[in-house]
Structure 1
Amino acid sequence: MPSGRPETPPSVSDLKDEGSPGAKHPGEVNDIPDATPPSTPPSPPEGNKAQKILLLVSVFLCMFLVSLDRTIISTAIPAISNEFNSLNDVGWYGSAYLLTSCAFQLLFGKIYTVFPTRPALLASVFLFEAGSAICGAAPSSVAFTVGRAICGIGAAGLFAGTIVCIVYIVPLHQRPKIQGAFGALFGIASIVGPLIGGAFTSNITWRWCFYINLPIGGVAMVVIALFLEAPPRDDAKLPLGKKILKLDLLGTSLLVPGVVCLLLALQWGGPTYPWNDGRIIAMLTLAGVLLIGYAVVQATLTSTATIPPRLVKQRSVISALWATICINSGNYIFIYFLPIWFQAIQHATPVSSGIRLLPVMLSTVLGSILGGFLNAKLGYYTPLAIFGSCLASIGAGLLTTIHVAAPASHWIGYQVVYGLGLGTCFQAPNLAVQTALPQADVPMGIALVFFGQLVGSTVFVSVGQNVFSNQLVKRLAGFPGFDVGLVTEGGATALVEALPEGVRAAAVVEYNEALRQVFLVGLIVTCLAVLGTVTLEWLSVKKPQAEKLGELEKGVDGKGAGEQGAEEKGAEEKGAEEKGAEEKGVEGKGAEGKGIEEKDGEKKGKK
């Protein structure tokens, strides 16, 4: 029944809600409220500039520690294994960290969408610090491995948490510069990590490679606890039990063991056990069953899914995931096998081979910084993503041409071309996720991108290792004195040195050809990254949040911005028509009432 006064016209946000997939339309019952994203929080508030700088520094420190932790251990491993007499456990020092960081990455993405950002980020820092303390004080190899596993869990939370923190601190149009600095941070950590680890191991003790994390992480925790302010969530008042139920416990119970089985099979297959070994086959089979079960859970239980279907239906998310898997897979292949080329082909020492890798490291840092500033200037990340992936592909192609007598100008120049391309496009997937998704879905999107980075690089390093081993066996089988066992058990130079001196020169040529086949794998996956970058949507990072509502909705239901705008315009016109009809009805009713009163007055006068 009309109230007698015109209704307030719907706001733009109301129209947005009506056009969203989760809105209830006449005759439609929405019984899965959690299948739609929560409302988009507002843009970062204008707060105290000093507080923001402190927060940014703390977030950068957290990410630097995580990046450093992945490389600082490389030069400390000999001293650690000597102290614990644990040469057979060396592989687990890296694998334990990698397994847990991969397995828990998506879970932390879900945690950041359900729980407040500050306690979730603090818990991640605490886990990383606790793992570092255990590693530093470890009395045995087993305790050290447990500490590395805990560090990996904390790192999984920090990967996603630091980017989520930046989303709340930095406006979208300023994030390309910050993302560029993040990429540079990874490169710098890769350069200084082994140097710091070697300095601690030689001059103090290897334990300080992990103790160094404690004071820095402690300061970061204090700053985050005092100054990080994140917008409240729609479900902030939900009881703890209901929040835990939203964490997709069933999916996580399938994903974690599935990822662990897959990574263990890839780590052990070839070097440790033959690929036809029953243990490898069993782990691969179990991984396949568990991961298929996880996919079924995500598709059916959409209200609590870790990866909601709406996320994988968004074009930019799929393109970003594809690009980041390919970019990082190619990068790890070259970073892993170029030092082997320097040592086996050019007879460089391990330290010298690390120094010869500086061109790609430094050019990646430079490309990342330049890419951040250019993305901010252009307002679009897609052009540089395409340019960077194409340039990296050219550099990767050049690296596949190196030969035994390649001069320094070649392998330095090729690394620079590859590194500049890599740095330019390295952060584009993260920016794409932040720009294309509603802010409430950004944590899950970021976690998905990091998950792709970790799993992709692990898979393709294993692929490269198996290609390398098979090529060596194939090419050196006819040489006198060749022993297949040296391929899996010998060092980078032991295989060639074990052959008679008269055939070593020819063996080095074949060794070089085997490495070129591995570099060809890196070239292929780097070229495939172009497919991801060219299909990224052209979304602006300069538009204010309010102007991006149509584009953000596209990340949810796949509609184009123009189509969404047309719907909003139609809704506005419809609302205006309804308002006019109501006002007309009110006026008509008023006129009708007035006419009746006048008629009654005339009758009364006649009487």
Structure 2
Amino acid sequence: MREDSQQPHFVKPDSTACEADRPAADRSSDSNGEESEWVEGITLVMVITGITLVVFLMLLDMSIVSTAIPTITSQFHSLDDVAWYGSAYTISSAALQPLTGKFYTYFSSKWTCLAFFGVFEIGSLLCGVATSSKMLIVGRAVAGMGSSGMLNGALNILAGAVPIQKRPAMIGVIMGVGQLGLVGGPLVGGAFTTYSTWRWCFYMNLPIGGVVAALLLFTHMPDQKPKPPVRHVLQSLLLKNFDLLGFIIFAPASIMLLLALQYGGNGYAWNSAIVIGLFCGSAATFVVFALWERHMGAEAMIPGHLVRDRIVLSSSLLAMSIFGFTMTLSYYLPIYFQAVRGKSALVSGVDLLPNILCQLVMAVVSGVLTSKLGYYLPWGVLGAILDAIGNGLLSTLSVDTSIPTWAGYEALVGFGRGAISQVKPMIAIQNNVTNTDVSTAMALMACAQTFGGAIFLAVAEVIFAQALKANIPRYAPSVEAATVIAAGATGFRDVVSAQELPGVLVAYAKSVGEVFYLSAALSVVQFGFAWGVGWRSVKKKGEKEAEV
């Protein structure tokens, strides 16, 4: 039934019927049995390469700065801003993520994705040329705004480019390479910081962005369904269908919560009017947001029927807890290696390899076995157990912990993280919700994931800062805690005498250990939510779709 086309790489559709409401297995043809337009040949290679680089850069940018942070804090004297270097990126991304689904519904997937990617590149440039900690934080926030639509864009472009039967393999390639960016970011960042400058952690996005633009800009990519004219969208749909008021309420509620966590104990007492006001303002605004979303119904930025779905909610909260401890681990293990063990940024990245390699190996093994056995829930439970044990052991790290010991702890966490990787919540959602709700449910999960990274990284900073203030007087009573904190994670050795240094190192090790209490607690939370993703087999669904 495939018709000939004047363009050899595409198959032309004869119908513009919306495919979103039909089962995924039926989306390759319209109601008359006529096939949709798919990308083939070298054009498909260009599209897949381009969107894979987009996802790779998005995930790389989340973790590449982690091993550079100790050097950045020393240069800008900004140890109190550690959480902001990660949270500014993730909170701006999380605040926009639910809204990006609306953009991809009404605008061209290609041009929308390129627009978000352009904002990401501008943010990267601002970070690279930053002259102060505040400028770096602003750049990270701009990059986060751009990143909010990058993963959604990649998946939407893929859905319009290839039929459902080919998508699983393509998604595997895209997410596999993307995960390399997330787990390999600390190593790359450490290399740049040691042999060049931390600024290349952000500059590198610019030439790779040029490659992405060359691959996607002049490549034709069909949408899943015809989109209305832009003028029509702006005139009649923007205010009604985009739920902009919901976004306007949601964004400040999120920012107020993060500010309260950032300021509490750092410049303001927890019982100060500013901190209490921020907490109360955030809570009240979230209540208003919930009431507004209920009023909007199906047009809401976060539809209520998905929030009430047990599997969607469990998968989203599972992704939130996973990403929360992952971000905490990637930021505070380098601080341990550089501050306590006195290693360079590059070596501290190398020291993360036991975690990185074990995570990759376990992710592949669990993915293959899930495909063969069909069930993903056991891997979630196993991963949570391994994570809880591993993070609990990491909390015991000391000044003289041996290499085999800390490498074994890292490996244990890596195996757990690989088993319960974010693919498991993604599979659970795709295997249980209707086809019309998949994209919205995935956006909700992605929002929860990045929001968890932002919030729990801020909580980790609060724990670390308070622990340092308590432990330095305990283990190095003659040292001024404020002086050590102001000097940064690698600069404090220059302001502390040789006689006082051992006590300060013990204080740093103890403080990092207390952060891993949070990671262990999040792992226990993962164990609970893992049971909520449902005991269903992906094989049964695949076999049923194959029979259609």
Per the shorter chain, which TM-score range? 0.7 to 0.9
Q: Greater shift after overlay, 69-78 or 375-384? A: 69-78
Q: Closer, same or farther in 2 for the Cα pair 1:200/1:471, shift >3 Å?
A: closer
Q: Closer, same or farther in 2 for the Cα pair 1:354/1:386, shift >3 Å?
A: same
The alpha-carbon deviation at position 212 of structure 1 amounts to 1.9
Q: Closer, same or farther in 2 for the Cα pair 1:373/1:185, shift >3 Å?
A: farther
- Is the contact made by 2:319 and 2:425 (CA closer than 8 Å) also made in structure 1? yes
The alpha-carbon deviation at position 451 of structure 1 amounts to 1.7
Output one character per residue of 1:120-141: Cα deviation in whole Å (capped at 9) or x when no partner.
Answer: 3233223323444566678999
Take 1:451 and 1:370, find their aligned partners in 2: how far apart are those partners? 27
Q: Greater shift after overlay, 286-295 or 340-349? A: 340-349
Take 2:190 and 2:501, find their aligned partners in 1: how far apart are those partners? 31
Output one character per residue of 1:412-433: Cα deviation in whole Å (capped at 9) or x when no partner.
Answer: 1111121121022112112222
1:404-415 alignment runs, 5 A limit: 404-415=399-410
- Is the contact made by 1:183 and 1:369 (CA closer than 8 Å) also made in structure 2? no
- Match of residue 327 from structure 2: 332
- Is the contact made by 2:67 and 2:335 (CA closer than 8 Å) also made in structure 1? no
Letter in 1 for 2:224: A
1:520 to 511, 514, 517: 517
1:550-561 alignment runs, 5 A limit: none
- Match of residue 69 from structure 1: 61
Take 1:316 and 1:175, find their aligned partners in 2: how far apart are those partners? 25
- Is the contact made by 2:321 and 2:523 (CA closer than 8 Å) also made in structure 1? yes
1:156 to 144, 148, 151: 148
- Is the contact made by 2:64 and 2:201 (CA closer than 8 Å) also made in structure 1? no
SS in 1 for 2:396: coil
The alpha-carbon deviation at position 79 of structure 1 amounts to 9.8
Take 1:513 and 1:136, find their aligned partners in 2: how far apart are those partners? 33
Take 1:430 and 1:242, find their aligned partners in 2: how far apart are those partners? 33
The alpha-carbon deviation at position 460 of structure 1 amounts to 1.8
Q: Greater shift after overlay, 175-184 or 71-80? A: 71-80
2:452 to 429, 432, 456: 456
- Match of residue 418 from structure 2: 423
- Match of residue 118 from structure 2: 126
- Is the contact made by 1:464 and 1:518 (CA closer than 8 Å) also made in structure 2? yes
Letter in 2 for 1:226: H
- Is the contact made by 2:109 and 2:157 (CA closer than 8 Å) also made in structure 1? yes
- Is the contact made by 2:315 and 2:425 (CA closer than 8 Å) also made in structure 1? yes
SS in 2 for 1:226: coil
Does 2:34 correspond to 1:39? no
Q: Greater shift after overlay, 370-379 or 449-458? A: 370-379
The alpha-carbon deviation at position 297 of structure 1 amounts to 1.0
Does 2:538 correspond to 1:541? yes
Take 1:58 and 1:329, find their aligned partners in 2: how far apart are those partners? 28
Q: Closer, same or farther in 2 for the Cα pair 1:142/1:186, shift >3 Å?
A: closer
Does 2:380 correspond to 1:385? yes
Does 2:91 correspond to 1:109? no
TM normalised by structure 1 equals 0.72
- Match of residue 33 from structure 1: none
Take 2:269 and 2:211, find their aligned partners in 1: how far apart are those partners? 44
2:305 to 300, 305, 310: 310
Output one character per residue of 1:176-205: Cα deviation in whole Å (capped at 9) or x when no partner.
Answer: 734445433422344324435666649x97
Q: Closer, same or farther in 2 for the Cα pair 1:189/1:506, shift >3 Å?
A: closer
1:531 to 528, 531, 535: 528
Q: Closer, same or farther in 2 for the Cα pair 1:431/1:485, shift >3 Å?
A: same
The alpha-carbon deviation at position 368 of structure 1 amounts to 2.5
Q: Closer, same or farther in 2 for the Cα pair 1:369/1:57, shift >3 Å?
A: farther
Does 2:430 correspond to 1:434? yes
Output one character per residue of 1:432-451: Cα deviation in whole Å (capped at 9) or x when no partner.
Answer: 22222223322222222222
Letter in 2 for 1:524: A
Q: Greater shift after overlay, 143-152 or 243-252? A: 143-152
Output one character per residue of 1:369-422: Cα deviation in whole Å (capped at 9) or x when no partner.
Answer: 333333333333323222222222232233233344321111111111211210
Q: Closer, same or farther in 2 for the Cα pair 1:353/1:192, shift >3 Å?
A: closer
Letter in 2 for 1:122: L
Q: Greater shift after overlay, 451-460 or 45-54? A: 45-54
Take 1:234 and 1:117, find their aligned partners in 2: how far apart are those partners? 13
Take 1:212 and 1:94, find their aligned partners in 2: how far apart are those partners? 23
TM normalised by structure 2 equals 0.80
Q: Closer, same or farther in 2 for the Cα pair 1:86/1:472, shift >3 Å?
A: closer
Take 2:45 and 2:450, find their aligned partners in 1: how far apart are those partners? 29
Take 1:165 and 1:381, find their aligned partners in 2: how far apart are those partners? 27
Take 2:469 and 2:73, find their aligned partners in 1: how far apart are those partners? 30
Q: Closer, same or farther in 2 for the Cα pair 1:488/1:283, shift >3 Å?
A: farther
Take 1:256 and 1:112, find their aligned partners in 2: how far apart are those partners? 20
Output one character per residue of 1:283-308: Cα deviation in whole Å (capped at 9) or x when no partner.
Answer: 32222222111111112221321111
Q: Closer, same or farther in 2 for the Cα pair 1:485/1:76, shift >3 Å?
A: closer
Q: Closer, same or farther in 2 for the Cα pair 1:423/1:175, shift >3 Å?
A: farther
Take 1:469 and 1:141, find their aligned partners in 2: how far apart are those partners? 18
Cα RMSD after superposing both structures: 3.9
Q: Closer, same or farther in 2 for the Cα pair 1:474/1:86, shift >3 Å?
A: closer
- Match of residue 297 from structure 1: 292
The higher radius of gyration belongs to 1
Q: Closer, same or farther in 2 for the Cα pair 1:239/1:454, shift >3 Å?
A: closer
SS in 2 for 1:281: helix
Q: Closer, same or farther in 2 for the Cα pair 1:114/1:249, shift >3 Å?
A: same
Q: Closer, same or farther in 2 for the Cα pair 1:518/1:175, shift >3 Å?
A: same
SS in 2 for 1:125: helix
The alpha-carbon deviation at position 211 of structure 1 amounts to 2.6
Q: Greater shift after overlay, 89-98 or 279-288? A: 89-98
The alpha-carbon deviation at position 279 of structure 1 amounts to 3.2
The alpha-carbon deviation at position 470 of structure 1 amounts to 2.8
Take 1:526 and 1:419, find their aligned partners in 2: how far apart are those partners? 13
SS in 2 for 1:405: coil
Letter in 2 for 1:160: N
Q: How many residues align?
A: 509
1:226 to 220, 224, 242: 220
Take 1:115 and 1:548, find their aligned partners in 2: how far apart are those partners? 30
Q: Closer, same or farther in 2 for the Cα pair 1:190/1:58, shift >3 Å?
A: farther
Output one character per residue of 1:345-386: Cα deviation in whole Å (capped at 9) or x when no partner.
Answer: 333334332321222122223323333333333333323222
The alpha-carbon deviation at position 156 of structure 1 amounts to 0.4
Take 1:207 and 1:188, find their aligned partners in 2: how far apart are those partners? 15
- Is the contact made by 1:379 and 1:541 (CA closer than 8 Å) also made in structure 2? yes
Take 1:421 and 1:314, find their aligned partners in 2: how far apart are those partners? 26
Output one character per residue of 1:90-122: Cα deviation in whole Å (capped at 9) or x when no partner.
Answer: 877655434422221121133334445334323
Letter in 2 for 1:536: V
SS in 1 for 2:149: helix
Letter in 1 for 2:376: Y
- Is the contact made by 1:135 and 1:147 (CA closer than 8 Å) also made in structure 2? yes
- The percentage of counterpart residues that share the same residue type is 28
Does 2:334 correspond to 1:342? no
Letter in 1 for 2:217: V
- Match of residue 212 from structure 2: 217
- Match of residue 556 from structure 1: none
Q: Greater shift after overlay, 380-389 or 85-94? A: 85-94
